[in-house]
Structures are given as structure tokens and as C-alpha cells.
Structure 1
Amino acid sequence: MSDNLIRNIVEVRSKLSTENSNKLLLALGDFVNNLKSKIEGNNLGYIYCLRAASIPFDDIPDDTTGLEELAWVTADFLIKRLNYDRYKTIYHLSDNAGHNEHIDSCFVVYYQMLSSQFSQLVSFADLNIKTINEYFDVLLRKKVLATKTNKWGDIDSSAWDSLLHEFAYDKLMGASFMSFTDDMPDYIKSHAKSCDIDNLYGRFVAAVLDEEIKQRGDCSPLITTGEDFEIHIKRLIEANVPFATVETTPRTGDDGADLLVYGNGYSIAIQAKYYSSPVGNSAVQEIYSAKAIYQTNFAVVVTNISYTKAAQEAAETLKVILATEGNIIEIIKYLLE
């Protein structure tokens, strides 16, 4: 194996003591031998595993020599993901700071645990892809609701990352290897998070889901519930009012508003109602209160159906705007421009 293919391994081994360098080499050999037997015939699953670890490969070789090289390159990239220099810096800043020999011994164990989790991920990749696809619609809904964009355009995906971890733990094979840092010191957990390797299974779910979204094209969830309708309205606004940012409120304790829309210095509180009969004036009262709580400029109720006369009268009195999915975009643009 050429040094060019495993340059990160060569670099890290040069920084370790002879004993730890040899231990790392043995760990690498075990990982590669285990991995190359799992790659063959599991191409698609392996690609998703590579994406989960941010390893930039999209093609899997067919020949045995090529598979062994890919296994070594994967091992090399995992070493790169661990970022030895960052690990050492975080270690020295921790309460566990001590002799370099101890640092390096921990690093070898750290790599062994990460490579074990990656191997487990590969082992169950095909089965887990099927599971993820079975829950595609549910995951898509969760992603839309959990991914927030604030009024400054910053994307906060922390809630979605947590849901990915939770889904993977509950539904995917290999859960016993889910959190390989659980029993490790805090500095290891901090380092793993900084290197984006703390949630490999969750990242695997995201990789499969993102590819499935690309393949399916328009993936608007089927509207059968109020939550579906809320997602639908959120997507409509994001797709048709690009200068606006849309936030979802908490699922419980939303104080009467489902969505908050910001743009050009204005703000709108929206309540989305998916009903089989006309919406009554209680929705108008709720969004009127939400307008005060969230301190927005406007209050809007949007529905898939129509409004009762009482709702229309209350809306006129309270200056609440009543919309349908057919005219909500026109109304949003008018209010924000």
C-alpha cells in the first residue's frame, strides 16, 4: 500500500511512540480486513456509510485489489476525521491532561471504537436503508418541522440532528454501537462533536434520506393531518417567497401560532387549520392572542376550506387576515413587501 494512499495514517503514526504506532497499525489491519469483506456486494450501502463519515467517494471498485485499496483509504480518512492534532489540543485543555503516552494510548482506543462503529454501520447498511425508506414520509415531515431558519437566515438543525439520533437508536440495526463515546471522557465527546463523528448512524439516516429526496423529486408529504398542512404551508412560503424566513413554533405550547414569517422588517403569526368543516372564530381569537405574544405585525389564519360567518366577523373586528392555501402566497407577499 503506497504512502500516498494512506498519508494521514503515516503522518499520525510518525507522531506516536513506537509501541502505540504498532498498536494503531494492528488496529488498522484488523479494520481493513474486516471491512473489505463487507464492501463487496454492498455498494450502495457503503456509499451512504462513506457519506455519513464525510468520506468523498461515490464509486466502489469491482476487483479485489481495488476493494482492499478502498478499505485502506477509508481507514486513512477515518484517521483524518479524528484529527490527531485537534484531539491532542482538546486533551491538554481537559482535566485529564497528562503524559503524552497516555494521550496516544487513548487515541488508539478511540480509533478502534470509531472503526468498530463504522464496520457495524456497513454490516447493517442494506437492512437499515430499507427501514429508512419505510419511514420516509414520517422522516420528511419531521425534517421540515425540526429544521428552523431564524429571521436572520441562519439555519438551526440541532433539533433535526437529535431526531436523527433518536430514530437511528430506536429503529436501526446496530443500536448497541450507536454512541461509541458514551463511556468515554468528556473531552472525547467534545472532540467527536467537533469532528462531526458523534452521530454516525444519524448522519447515515440523513444521507439516505437526502438521496431519496433527490430521486423522488417533489416530496411534499401527503396532507392528511393538521401537521401535514402546516408543513405544506411552510414549504409553499419558502418556495414562493424567497426573501422570507419561516420558523415553526413548538408542537406544544405554541400560544396559538404555528408559523412565524419574517421579511423586510415585518413579521406575521400564522395559524394553519386543516379542517373538514368551516373554521370557527376560536381560531381567530387564538391567532389574535398569538400576535401579541410573539409581537408580530400581522396575524393570519390559513385553511384548506372556508370560514364561518362568526369567524369572518371576529376577523374584521380584530384585524386578523383570513386566508386559504390558494391565496396565502399573495397575502404573504403583500404584507411583507
Structure 2
Amino acid sequence: MLLLLFGVGLYLQPIAAWAGLALLLFLRLTKVHSLLLIYDLTDRAALEHVRTLATKRTHMLSPDEYGNVSEEAWNRHLNTFIKKTLVPEFQRRKIEHLLAKDLKRNVARLRTRINRIIDRYQPVEQIFEYDGMTGREFELYCREVLQEAGWRAALTPGSRDQGADIIAEKNGRRVVIQCKFYNGAVGNKAVQEAYAAAAFQDAPYAVVVTNSVYTKFAHQLAHKNGVLLMHHTDLARLDLIVTSGAGSR
């Protein structure tokens, strides 16, 4: 249709037809440039905050006590990130109107881009063999992960640990860790042990780490008492997590 109109206009008013085509191309190229700018600004912000975003996604997409994963909380977090971090920059560049034309669809596209950047950042998880592993071997594994991440981590004697399996220190932060190698869900007892051990060791951070999941009541008790519940795949990022205030009694 546009070509037909251009042809008719070129026959009747050549100058006007060429001027209209130039204007149309200008508007189209301007829109494309603005969209590319939106994507570029999104990528830059995601890369700048990728460590925090990766840690948040790991926690928000962790299985619940029934092994189910819900993306709702993570999508809400990304929506907030877009609203508070990206939109002000879009407004400064006067390109936010392109996002508002189909807000739901465009925000979903930005969430997809951010997730792809996190996927590229996330380190390949270390192969973890469960078969035949004992509880003490799991503690040794956790200590090794912490040491590779720069922590001074030591196993406790066992009989006199008051619930602590590992005591880790880094950058002046002292963390007491209770390791639970389970087939089933980890319950309240582990949270209570970690809390008591942190108090006994005079440590401000109490952590439970497991290869499994936690019960609903364990999550509730941990939240109330400032105990951090972790999966072993999060352990390499413990410093980032405690820096954000998580796990502080």
C-alpha cells in the first residue's frame, strides 16, 4: 500500500512524494535506533549488577519444601529492577515512550535479555556426586568450596561444636555454618542448631547449607531468627550474600 501511494504521489507530486518517503524513513530509523538504545542500556545495567542479580535469581528460583519452583517472585524482582534502574535512564534519553506502547510485552522482552546475561555470567556448577557421600564428606566439600572462594574455613571438632560444622571468616566477617546432607527436607532442628552455634561462637552470621530443600516451618523460623538457608550451589557466593545483610542475627 505504501509503495502504491508512493508511486501515485511520485506521478502527481514528485517532490512531495520524495519528501514523504524521506520523513517515513527518518521516523523508522529513529525508532529502530531508540529500540537498540533501550536494549543497549538494559544490557549495560544488567552487566553492572550481574553478580547481585545472579544471587537473587538463585534464591528466588530455589525449590520450596515440596521441590516446586515458582518464577513469580523473580519476575516481580526484575520488574522492580526495570522500573527503578532502567526506566529513569530511558526517561533521561527521552525514549521511555517506546516501552509504554506495549508495556507488558516490552517488559517481558527486557526480562528475557536480563536472564540471558545472567545465564552467561553464571559459572558452570561443579559436578557434585551424591552417591556414597557421608555427612562428614559433605562438610569437607563445603569447606573446599569456601576456601576456593577466599574464605578461611575450618571444620569443628564435632563433639564440641555446639551445632557448628564449619567456621568461616573473610573480610572481618565470621560465619557459623551447619551442613545437612539429606535425602528429605531439612527442618527446624537445623535452624535451631545453627542459631545456637552462632551465639556460642560469637558469630554474627548463622547459615544452614544442604544438598536438599527446607520445610516451610524451617523457612519461617530461619526468617524470624536471621538464619540464612542455602543450597550448596550458592556457597561460592556466600560473601556477596552476607554482604547484603542476609543471615545476620
* Fold similarity call, TM over 0.5: no
TM-score if structure 2 supplies the norm length? 0.44
TM-score if structure 1 supplies the norm length? 0.33
